[in-house]
Amino acid sequence: MKAWPRELSVGLALAALLAALAVFAPSFFAPQPLLSLAAREAPVLLVACGAAMVIVCRQIDISSGSQFAVVSVAAGLLAAEGWPPAAVAGTALALGATLGALNGILVAGLGLPSIVVTLATMVTWREGLRWWRQGAFINLPDGLQWLGLGQAAGQWALIGAALALLALLALAARHLAAGRHLYAVGSDAEAARLAGIRPSAVTFGAFTLAGALTGLAALMNVIQSPQVDPKSGTGLELKAIAAVVVGGVGIAGGRGRLAGVLLGLLLLATVGPALTHLRIEAHWEKAIQGAIILLAVAAERARRRPAR
Amino acid sequence: MTPSPASPRPALRHETVLLAVVVLEWLCFHALGPRFGTLENSFDLLRHSAEIGLLALAMTPVILTGGIDLSVGSLLGLCAVLFGKLWRDAGLDPATAAACTLGIGALAGGLNAALIAGLRLPPLIVTLGTYSLFRGLAEAITRGADTFTNFPAAFLFLGQERWLGLPTQAWFFAAVAAAVWLLVHRTTFGCACRAHGFAPEGTRYAGLPVGRQLTAVYVLSGLIAALAAVIYTARLGQARADAGTGYELLAITAVVLGGTSIFGGRGSVHGTLLGVAALAILNNGLVHARQPREVAGLLTGALLLLALAAGTAPRLWAARRARRSPAPSSP
Amino acid sequence: MIKPALSLLLCGLVFLAGCGRAPEAARDAGGGKRLTVALLPKSKGNAYFISCRAGAEKAARALGVELLFDGPTDTDPAKQNEIIENWITLGVDVIAAACENREGISTALRKAQARGIKVITYDADALPDARAFFVNQATPEGIGQTLMDEAARLTNAEGEFAVILSTLTASNMQEWLKHIRARLAEKYPRMKLVAVRPCDDQKDKAQTEATTLLSAHPNLRLLMNICSPAVPGAAEAVKQAGKTGQVKVIGLGLPSENRRYVKEGVTDSVILWKTEDLGALAVEAAVALAQGTLKRGDTAFRNAAGATYEVRGDQLLLGQPFIFNRDNIDQFNF
């Protein structure tokens, strides 16, 4: 396999978009707003990494947006109760991992199809949260925002943490046995089983990890503002999955890299702001986003034809 | 039509279990809400589930081939808006406009088909893209703001009145249900769809026209989504770019609840109809039981998991027993 | 083998039956036929309607009527119709609806009237022939004008401003936007509306949109947020961009969600009516209509607590919207 073949078209598309912006709307590159926008996308990157793990394992998770909302609200309530930030963070991670593990049990343990399981948990968490909270905002105590770091430092810390985690996960996926098992199970669960890997354990692990990443992401979003909106995370799962597939991760499992996910997310996250900067009216946004997804995957296939 | 030869025949068919659930639901809500069992409410049920039901019918062959169509809800919105545009701005009479809308729906389904069957791209990604594209086009055409309304009474008859004793749209729904049932269960085309769901590569090597099959399935899905759009517009008396938001998930829920395997190959149209009924009765009945709407969402999730577990438990059980006693051949 | 699953399902449904019945039985034990008022919000899980509901529940308790509060949990416009049609079959006495889409919902409301159910609307009107009265908290025209005038006051009626709304397709958003644009064209030629962005009713998305707007339009003088989650979202973006005071933030929102930013001087004014009173008045008017004490031709409506509201034609007027700012926001806690 050649180096970086699958991610090339995404990278080119991103480069083209950035070039267009540099010519027509250089204001896009003003450092301060760009830093803020990047910090806002940092949590999405973690959710997308989780989604990528699950997809590599030949499963799918569409409940991550609802998990995100549940963890956000729980973390917000605990913080408002006066829990110290470290305890809030620990609980958020644990809660995220638990929600992910629940998907994992249902998928890996009972052998149920993941799209249906996560469809069910997505609806259940979202409606349960609405029933419980009725949509009321949660006001957070003053010290929690940026964890006391100050705004710029906090934003850099979030971006740094997200990228470091991405790098760590990418390395683990490439070099650790557990990472290779993920790809093995995703390419052919039966072959993996015969090679001594337990596919159900790997699948369970992927869902749990994705849940923990979503929990962390929710926490990283909560500390960016002094209020928690219980509707946050609506539609996040689709954004994450879109970033993953645009980034060249094969939906049929076993193929794809986290670096591609980063590129995919950068592309998708740039489109919205780019349209505002290019003075294109908002009602074109969804159509353009859809066209970009289609073009990215079609270009990828056209370039590699007649593979498979 | 038999389930996969690899899986042991379950003691009870999924459809039977689901039928019991539907009957139970009916009895429960009948006991809870005095007006639930009235004829009028049954008509409401039919009216309210026609569009989701149509989309679920369209989705069934798609899922049988191992694919998925996330774009149907967005396509419903796009078709509703285009129908309004054709009628109001192009000055066509509703019947002609509806016919054109069906054509557009088929065309949009053709776009999915071209990418999925022609370029062999995964259906999930393609329809995720068109999900965004179709809704985006609907918003772009209306600039988000334009609402089409004041349709003639003759057109509204389709969605709000009764014909031969039943709500008009129920007849369309029944006709489409019968057609899809025949197509899936009584033609070689239906068998080929399942075959493709079981073993896509195998079907290709067996010389079946896989490309044409997939094309037909997605075009049919677009066509039915367009029909749903016309009925939706008639029922509400308005068309706007947000019509049908989220319907794709409701349709998928109904199909999966109906026992169709999301991996393709296994499933039935009557199962889908039962799935639609189970969800519609739940949503309607909870209002009669004076429960808030969130409960319907919660119970939908629970029902989905339970139905699914009920379908898988016997197989798991058998697999465990098979593992204990030495298997006759490799699994 | 499938029996355990089946019996589990049975248990679930029986449980459901149980939890449905309990409150019902308790309520019916009160004896006599109580009036049932069904209150329909535009959507559930929205702070605005939670506040309306609180007022409505108080009024319902005071009047001794049963209140049903339910609404769609998602954005599809057909869902409101389905709930109304279910209520018709259920046989409620009065329906009070906040309409997400005028034309679409009127179909269902007319059907309710034909069955002898009294219908009023609140918050957002249906077509006039589909209801008896509209409890009017502020006309779309009034809201548009108040917002635009407030924006002009804060910017000395010149410079660029942008609007953040919930979704492009929501009919009340478009209605308000239309009147904002009309007022702008009529009175403030030196102001310019440079962008209209949706935030999907999410605070997080509003913050991202506002951040982008601030960098894309460096001369922006004001952000006008016409859905409630967008006001704190935009305020946080302005604060993080270090443009507090330089870019003004106004909008339609609840005091409780905005108190922090109003006090910090990021958000200049938040405009809203007393939402609890709106919910209460909707229920009171609905009951009065059903009991025949509110009729066409009345010029005033007096509620049980003794407050008097003006009736103009087929509309009950709640009164002028409030403008919350740094000086008065602590007096309100909703």
Tell me which of A59, A294, A308 to substitute to probe the interface with B (most B C-beta atoms closer than 10 Å). A294
- What DSSP letter does each residue of A84-132 carry, written as one string? -HHHHHHHHHHHHHHHHHHHHIIIIIT---HHHHHHHHHHHHHHHHHHH
Measuring CA to CA, which residue among B77, B12, B18, B75 is closest to residue B307?
A: B18
Q: What is the DSSP letter of A140?
A: P
- Cα of C82 vs its chain's centroid, Å: 19
Q: Is the CB of C75 less than 8 angstroms away from the CB of B246?
A: yes
Q: Averaged over A235-253, what is the pLDDT? A: 88
Instruction: Tell me which residue in C1, C74, C77 faces B317 most closely, judged by beta carbons.
Output: C1
C-alpha B42/C-alpha A33 separation (Å) is 56
Instruction: Tell me which residue in B128, B300, B308 faces A241 most closely, judged by beta carbons.
Output: B128
pLDDT tens for each residue of A102-114: 999 999 988 888 9
pLDDT of residue C295: 86
Between A and B, how many CB-CB pairs are < 8 A?
136
Tell me which of A55, A114, A119 to substitute to probe the interface with B (most B C-beta atoms closer than 10 Å). A119
* AA identity, residue C97: A
**Residues whose CB is less than 8 angstroms from the CB of residue C148 and which lie 6 or more positions away in sequence, other chains included:** C179, C180, C183, C184, C187, C188
Which chains have at least 3 CB atom pairs separated by less than 8 Å from chain C? A, B
A152's tokens: 């710029």
Low-confidence ranges of chain C (pLDDT < 50): 1-31
Between A121-130, B35-44, B321-330, C202-211, the lowest mean confidence (pLDDT) is in B321-330
Which chains have at least 3 CB atom pairs separated by less than 8 Å from chain B? A, C
Measuring CA to CA, which residue among C290, C303, C300 is closest to residue C66?
A: C290
CB < 8 Å to A231, chain C: 45, 201-203, 229
Is residue B268 within 8 Å of residue B190, measured between CB atoms?
Answer: no
- What DSSP letter does each residue of B112-123 carry, written as one string? HHIIIIIS---H
Q: Is the CB of B290 less than 8 angstroms away from the CB of C75?
A: no
pLDDT of residue A5: 61
Is residue B123 within 8 Å of residue B116, measured between CB atoms?
Answer: yes
In A129-168, the residues whose Cβ lies within 8 Å of chain B are 130-131
Provide the percentage of residues in chain B whose pLDDT is more than 90: 62
C-alpha A51/C-alpha A57 separation (Å) is 10
| A252 in contact with B, Cβ within 8 Å | yes
Give me the domains of chain B, ranges plus CATH numbers: 14-21+38-312 (1.10.3470)
pLDDT bracket for residue B10 (50, 70, 90): low
Provide the percentage of residues in chain A whose pLDDT is more than 90: 68
Q: Averaged over A197-205, what is the pLDDT? A: 94
* For A60, nearest residue in chain B (alpha carbons): B124
Q: What is the DSSP letter of C45?
A: S
CB < 8 Å to C212, chain A: 33, 37, 272-273, 276-277
CB < 8 Å to B306, chain C: 5, 8-9, 12
- Cα of A258 vs its chain's centroid, Å: 11
Q: What is the DSSP letter of B229?
A: H
Q: Is the CB of B124 less than 8 angstroms away from the CB of A60?
A: yes
Measuring CA to CA, which residue among B114, B264, B112 is closest to residue B202?
A: B264
C-alpha A230/C-alpha C234 separation (Å) is 17
C201's tokens: 């009713």
**Residues whose CB is less than 8 angstroms from the CB of residue C47 and which lie 6 or more positions away in sequence, other chains included:** A135, A136, A137, C228, C254, C256, C257
More confident residue, A5 or C76: C76
pLDDT bracket for residue A290 (50, 70, 90): very high
C-alpha B195/C-alpha B317 separation (Å) is 26
- Per-domain residue ranges of chain A: 8-304
pLDDT of residue B12: 67
pLDDT tens for each residue of A51-62: 999 999 999 999
- CATH class of domain segment(s) A8-304: mainly alpha
**What's the complex ipTM?**
0.90
Q: Is the CB of C90 less than 8 angstroms away from the CB of B150?
A: no
Question: Cα dihedral sign for B242, A113, A243, A159?
Answer: positive
pLDDT of residue A304: 62
Q: Is the CB of C73 less than 8 angstroms away from the CB of A127?
A: yes
**Residues whose CB is less than 8 angstroms from the CB of residue A121 and which lie 6 or more positions away in sequence, other chains included:** A63, A66, A67, A99, A102, A103, A106, B301
pLDDT bracket for residue B331 (50, 70, 90): very low
Q: Is the CB of C45 less than 8 angstroms away from the CB of A231?
A: yes
Q: What is the DSSP letter of C70?
A: -
C-alpha C283/C-alpha C291 separation (Å) is 12
Tell me which of C90, C180, C197 to substitute to probe the interface with B (most B C-beta atoms closer than 10 Å). C90
β-pairing, A227-228 vs A138-139, is antiparallel
pLDDT tens for each residue of B199-238: 888 888 888 888 899 999 999 999 999 999 999 999 999 9
* For A138, nearest residue in chain C (alpha carbons): C257
Q: Is the CB of B10 less than 8 angstroms away from the CB of C101?
A: no
CB < 8 Å to C229, chain A: 229, 231
**Would you say residue B70 has pLDDT above 80?**
yes
Q: Is the CB of A276 less than 8 angstroms away from the CB of C201?
A: no
CB atoms within 10 A of CB B186: 11
pLDDT of residue A9: 81
Give me the domains of chain C, ranges plus CATH numbers: 33-138+275-319 (3.40.50.2300), 140-272 (3.40.50.2300)
